[in-house]
Structure 1
Amino acid sequence: MELKTRAGHQGTGPGAITPDGCAVELYSRLPIGPEPDIIAAALPAGARILELGSGVGRMTHPLVERGFTVTAVDESPEMLARVRGARTIRSPIEDLDLGETFDVVLLASFLVHTGDVEVRRGLLRTCARHVAEGGCVLIQREGADYHSDLPRERVDPSGFTARILSSEPAGDGVHSVRAEYVFPDAIWTQTFRARPLSKDEFEQALGEAGLTVDSYLTEDGIWVRAMSS
């Protein structure tokens, strides 16, 4: 499967770069935050999870450690090579059709904000296609000030600095976002396209895929649990 760089996406820095500009080595270094705890608190113990866009397994690994059974999907073979303890499947998310369903489908990393509307529709259809009856879809949204509180930076206790440098309109409601990660021994940058979605626009997009919001799991509205309509 040949992967082509996605329009408007670019990454720089050491090591392999995925078509959407993600650096494999960078994501292998980034620590995981509270996300696994948020996810685990919303799920029944031992649930079967389909993780869409797993990357190197930053969330896969702590979920496996918490006793969940995870199937990790990513289009990058270099990313999937870092995943341990989970079944791995290489595929673009929007094309995935496994012919099976899961207790939970996980779409994190703000993927629902992809700039391409047709790709977003494909992502959400994949979620709806793979969630079992009575199961749920967990989706991570951008925060309300994601594109406006800029530039901003976070100095991690482990010794690197993450910056969102800019978010510039790129036409048709899409923004071009530029991020930078500075480590003592390396610097990575990523430029990608994202489509801001209001709460109403987000819920409308879910509805088009046959999904409806069950609850907002966090006060900032970033984590959402959805069900089949």
Structure 2
Amino acid sequence: MAFEFPGDIYETIRASMRDLAAETDYLAGLLPAGGRVLDLGSGAGTTLHALAERGFQGVGVDRSATFTDYAKGRASTAERYVHATFAEFDTDETFDLVTCLFATVNMVDPVELPALLAKVRRLLNPGGRLVLEAAHLLNFVDGFQPAQVTHHVAGDGSVVTRLARISVRPHDAVWRNDETLVVGVSGGPATLHHNFFDQWVVTAPELRNLLAAAGFRVTAEHGSFRSTPATGRGPLIQVAEAVS
């Protein structure tokens, strides 16, 4: 995995693909007043920063040093960011909510998921919840194109053009995303950034089984952060509680 390009570029791409207000409302509704959040795959800190503005505290973990530094640079006292892989990260702290969003779970080798979910269960306070947002099987099948070009416009007028080549390892159920980001700023030179990442295809039953094996019970499944039904197309958002 790469993801070592500037955090503000990631923010531009993310903003054009996400409804941050709906996402924040959804997560805040699962938290007690002043609750604590652990965000696995925190990226540039977007989710925790928005929750901190509503009075919540959080810790973000991400394997990208560049994104983690960007998140630290704008963090409030309610936010803390750790540069680590999920396997490396550990803490004595506990949390009211653990999140793994934006298909980050698809970037975890399935062999590593049982240990990760067991760790999450240990880090949750009694009554705490886990929110997983996965890309479903049909996201990959319906949306497959070997080459993609997308444009993302920032508030300052700069444009990020994403040129992506998608390849598939069918026997491993892995999608490889190899992309070049062309960033153009009005009146300035363009910059180029290379990025790549792998995504494992997962299905809802597979995730339910993994959660059950780790001692969780799925209490809700949605197709968006506006609580629309999960249909098998679009994201799959699962809310799970530890079984006592």
Q: Please, what TM-score do these two structures have when normalized by structure 2?
A: 0.74
Matching residue within 64, 81, 85 for 1:92 = 85
SS of 1:214 mapped into structure 2: strand
Between the aligned partners of 1:178 and 1:31, the Cα distance in structure 2 is 17
Distance of aligned partners of 1:76 and 1:67 in 2 relative to their CA distance in 1, 3 Å threshold: same
Between the aligned partners of 2:109 and 2:194, the Cα distance in structure 1 is 21
Matching residue within 23, 27, 30 for 1:43 = 30
8 Å Cα contact 2:176-2:199 kept in structure 1: yes
Distance of aligned partners of 1:39 and 1:216 in 2 relative to their CA distance in 1, 3 Å threshold: farther
Tell me the CA shift for residue 39 of structure 1: 4.0
Tell me the CA shift for residue 168 of structure 1: 0.9
Structure 2, unmatched stretches of 5+, are: 185-189
Between the aligned partners of 2:86 and 2:4, the Cα distance in structure 1 is 19
Count of paired positions = 210
Letter in 2 for 1:37: A
Distance of aligned partners of 1:47 and 1:167 in 2 relative to their CA distance in 1, 3 Å threshold: farther
Q: Please, what TM-score do these two structures have when normalized by structure 1?
A: 0.78
Between the aligned partners of 1:49 and 1:115, the Cα distance in structure 2 is 20
8 Å Cα contact 2:135-2:236 kept in structure 1: yes
Q: For 1:65-84, what aligned pairs fall within 5 Å after superposition?
A: 65-83=53-71, 84=75
Letter in 2 for 1:192: F
8 Å Cα contact 1:50-1:106 kept in structure 2: yes
Distance of aligned partners of 1:154 and 1:222 in 2 relative to their CA distance in 1, 3 Å threshold: farther
Tell me the CA shift for residue 200 of structure 1: 0.6
SS of 1:46 mapped into structure 2: coil
Between the aligned partners of 1:178 and 1:123, the Cα distance in structure 2 is 26
Q: For 1:8-87, what aligned pairs fall within 5 Å after superposition?
A: 20-25=1-6, 26-32=9-15, 33-35=18-20, 37-41=22-26, 42-44=29-31, 45-83=33-71, 84-85=75-76, 86-87=79-80
Which residue is 2:221 aligned to? 216
Which residue is 2:166 aligned to? 166
8 Å Cα contact 2:35-2:57 kept in structure 1: yes
Between the aligned partners of 1:187 and 1:145, the Cα distance in structure 2 is 31
Which structure dedicates a bigger proportion of its chain to helix?
Answer: 2
Between the aligned partners of 1:150 and 1:221, the Cα distance in structure 2 is 15
Tell me the CA shift for residue 97 of structure 1: 2.6
Letter in 1 for 2:135: E
Between the aligned partners of 1:29 and 1:35, the Cα distance in structure 2 is 12
Residue by residue over 1:137-157, the C-alpha shift from the partner in whole angstroms, topping out at 9 and shown as x without a partner, is 111111443322132554334
Between the aligned partners of 2:54 and 2:219, the Cα distance in structure 1 is 24
Between the aligned partners of 1:55 and 1:125, the Cα distance in structure 2 is 22
Between the aligned partners of 1:69 and 1:49, the Cα distance in structure 2 is 6
Q: Which has the larger radius of gyration?
A: 2
Identity of paired residues, percent? 22
Matching residue within 123, 136, 144 for 2:116 = 123
SS of 2:135 mapped into structure 1: coil
Tell me the CA shift for residue 68 of structure 1: 1.6
8 Å Cα contact 2:4-2:66 kept in structure 1: no
Structure 1, unmatched stretches of 5+, are: 1-19
Letter in 2 for 1:43: L
Between the aligned partners of 1:115 and 1:89, the Cα distance in structure 2 is 18
2:144 aligned with 1:150: yes
Residue by residue over 1:51-73, the C-alpha shift from the partner in whole angstroms, topping out at 9 and shown as x without a partner, is 11212212222221222211122
Which residue is 2:187 aligned to? none
Letter in 2 for 1:96: F
